[in-house]
Structure 1
């Protein structure tokens, strides 16, 4: 089986399906959403898919997929499957106006969608995460110069096959070519991977789940991370 990284320019339900499967057991998603039964899961997948469809209208967002290709025993006929996908933001100039009435329709729809997640979960927990993420970006992100790894998700059926690594390499290569930083918010599970690839933690976001009606002393931690460009010129400047 071979794989190829390619851009994705059209919305697809597979984005929501993979995202739901990849994050179902993360601390935030498992407590913020209601996963009880096929109907609840389908609602989450659709919510994710609808959000990505709106992000695809944003000129600052880029989508890439890692496609797994299998060939039958006779060497003919290829079966392509999206194994993983990523979305990242590219550097861009800030809009001249901050008036919400001047915002594009897709941005207004995205805000409405985020404020109305699938029923049965804990929207207040999800809202707290989004507020903290926005606050961190205002503090650390330079929208005019930085890339942003918005999301990366691999189907559980294709884990540990290098699909996520290839998507990350694509982004890193682009940022290095532009001598740019890459900003992201990482979970505990993703932290070691990003550290190995050059990201450094600059801050942490901590959410006490007891504040949102969840028993126990659980705390969800998100790591605000930035990867500085590491080309030869930058390495020389650090010494």
Structure 2
């Protein structure tokens, strides 16, 4: 299926852009792990071991590629075939066609045996733009099972709950569902500063501009200045006391809530 935008001329011809598919989920998980692992502040809610974290990303990527309200695009190294970077976008209701028709990927089954039972405060958590949120089970016939939170196996549930609850609340506060959402943007460390991330962002932002849409994201400390250079501004901030949550003397972790206003056409 064709892209909803032209490949930016700024991207080197040694790379190409295409849609992510179900066949990419393992590689996407590895890229996520490697890109966020470069700053340990990003990982305070992760399990110690890599394998459960990558398995968790496999489940999530499988599920989200099968979600018709999301769009996934990747930059691929033409010579090696490796994925250099990928982006996940949350499309606001009513604008699905503007950002390209959903390719209709099959959804892999979720292994509910690894889901961690959430406490009542987790509530009915739903997907939102940003760094990913817990999933809840769907009703079966007329019986609604208890909410569950899909945390990585081996992770401490309390830091996970605090992290994801905060993301959900701030998304609702700013009505993020009404905006285009950059839910996830990951660049493999070996391909950083090659223009891959920018090539994944600017075409989608141009579509948002054409439709008068704001764009929402949650930026890590290292990502904030990058997003500021393309028009995002901080509208809120989340603060996590890592030592209080984990017992590790890592200080305070900040996530910047950022919004980009559409440019005039």
Query: Scaled by the length of structure 1, what TM-score is found?
Result: 0.79
Q: Please tell me whether Structure 1 or Structure 2 has the larger radius of gyration of its CA atoms.
A: 1
Q: 1 CA distance for matches of 2:210 and 2:148?
A: 36
Q: Which residue of 2 aligns with 1:206?
A: 239
Alignment counterpart, residue 57 of structure 2, candidates 12, 37, 48: 48
**Residues 212-221 or 156-165, more deviating:** 212-221
Query: Scaled by the length of structure 2, what TM-score is found?
Result: 0.72
Alignment counterpart, residue 197 of structure 2, candidates 155, 164, 179: 164
Alignment counterpart, residue 184 of structure 2, candidates 148, 151, 157: 151
Alignment counterpart, residue 45 of structure 2, candidates 19, 32, 41: 32
Matched position secondary structure for 1:92: coil
Is contact 1:141–1:183 with CA below 8 Å preserved after alignment?
A: no
TM-fit CA distance, 1:109: 5.1
Alignment counterpart, residue 141 of structure 1, candidates 175, 199, 207: 175
Q: 2 CA distance for matches of 1:125 and 1:182?
A: 27
Q: Which residue of 1 aligns with 2:87?
A: 86
* Unmatched tracts of structure 1, length 5 or more: 71-78, 94-98, 101-105, 233-239
Q: Which residue of 2 aligns with 1:174?
A: 207
Is contact 1:4–1:68 with CA below 8 Å preserved after alignment?
A: yes
Alignment counterpart, residue 26 of structure 2, candidates 13, 18, 26: 13
Matched position secondary structure for 2:81: strand
TM-fit CA distance, 1:4: 1.3
TM-fit CA distance, 1:113: 5.4
Q: 2 CA distance for matches of 1:66 and 1:226?
A: 24
Q: How does 1:37-76 map to 2 (within 5 A)?
A: 40-70=49-79
Q: Which residue of 1 aligns with 2:166?
A: 132
The change in CA–CA distance for 1:83 and 1:9 in structure 2 (over 3 A counts) is same
* Unmatched tracts of structure 2, length 5 or more: 1-12, 95-122, 125-133, 139-146
Q: Deviations over 1:199-232 (max 9, x none)?
A: 0111000011122132436001001110000124
Q: 1 CA distance for matches of 2:190 and 2:176?
A: 36
Q: 2 CA distance for matches of 1:23 and 1:142?
A: 23
Please give the root-mean-square deviation of Cα atoms over the aligned residues, in Å. Answer: 2.3
